[in-house]
Amino acid sequence: MLLMERGHAWSRRRVSEPAPTGTTETSQDAGVCFSWFRFPSVCDGYLPKVGRLARLEDFMGKIAVYPGSFDPITFGHVDIVDRALECFDGVILAVAADTPKDALFNVNERVEMAKVALKDKPDVVVESFRGLLVNYVASAKATVILRGLRATSDFEYEFHMASTNKNLNQKIETLFMMANKDYFFVSSRTIKEVASMGGSVKGLVPECVERKLRERFEALRKKK
Ligand code: ADP
């Protein structure tokens, strides 16, 4: 899926550009890749400011791009980011803008939840991307794609993707981190399954995700 065309309508805005009228964005927020204030329905109620996230243009040194669907972000993903920050100067969590067929959340929602989940990590940028991952990585001036490996079931797909991406751009390496023992069984898919049946996902996803899952499934149940 990392090779597919992805569509999104976001635009990058520099810190020097003024925030649109009627928003409360700070100058620091303005540098956060893509503008969260465009999606009030997602933000309403619980989204704090995300101004502590880094700006892409602030990054110096070694950057890793951590791509994925993040539908939604889990503590397994957050753990990979935390450990990557021990090895890299900055991490870009890159949300695939091309929504998978069975996605529960659209790309804007997935980006917003990731921003909230990672808001206290100053060396992390969250943005969406489209097109070939290797092109996105090169445009971010990074040379490392970071992926998490949970079990042997992840391996075949990851090996295939890493080899294909290497073939597309020799300069870009894919690095894998083993899943933390506390989260190796956590996947966005099972989280959605459990939440859809009213089960608890506490301790496996950030609070904002827990709440968003509850709201989404309640809304879906009412629709039926
Ligand atoms: P995909 O990119 O296949 O849609 P995800 O968005 O779910 O996958 O995850 C992005 C990356 O994070 C993948 O490399 C995936 O293997 C990894 N990952 C997902 N869940 C976990 C977890 N619980 N622990 C470690 N890595 C994980």
Q: What is the tens place of the pLDDT at every residue in 96-148?
A: 998 777 799 999 999 999 999 999 999 999 999 999 999 999 999 999 999 99
Q: What is the DSSP letter of 112?
A: H
Average pLDDT estimate for 163-190: 97
**pTM for this structure?**
0.78
Catalytic residues: 77, 101, 150, 188
- Please list every protein residue whose CB sits less than 6 Å from any atom of ligand 1: 68-70, 74, 76-77, 80, 147-148, 150, 154, 179, 183, 186-188
Atom of ligand 1 nearest to the CA of 188: 7
Atom 27 (ligand 1): residue with closest C-alpha?
148
User: Mean pLDDT score of the chain, rounded to an integer?
Assistant: 80
pLDDT of residue 40: 32
Percentage of the chain surpassing pLDDT 90? 66
Atom of ligand 1 nearest to the CA of 158: 14
Residue 204 has pLDDT above 90, yes or no: yes
pLDDT band at 221 (very low <50, low <70, confident <90, very high): confident
H helix intervals, the chain = 27-30, 40-43, 75-84, 107-117, 133-139, 152-168, 188-196, 207-223
Buried residues in 32-46 as b, exposed as e (16+ CB within 10 A): bbbbbeebeebbeee
Residue 14 has pLDDT above 70, yes or no: no
Q: In whole angstroms, give the CA distance from residue 5 to residue 211.
A: 31
pLDDT band at 68 (very low <50, low <70, confident <90, very high): very high
Residue showing tokens 């329905």: 41
Residue 64 has pLDDT above 90, yes or no: yes
63-68 and 90-96: which strand pairing?
parallel
Of 174, 184, 187, 194, the residue with max ligand 1 atoms within 8 A of its CB, to mutate for a pocket test, comes to: 187
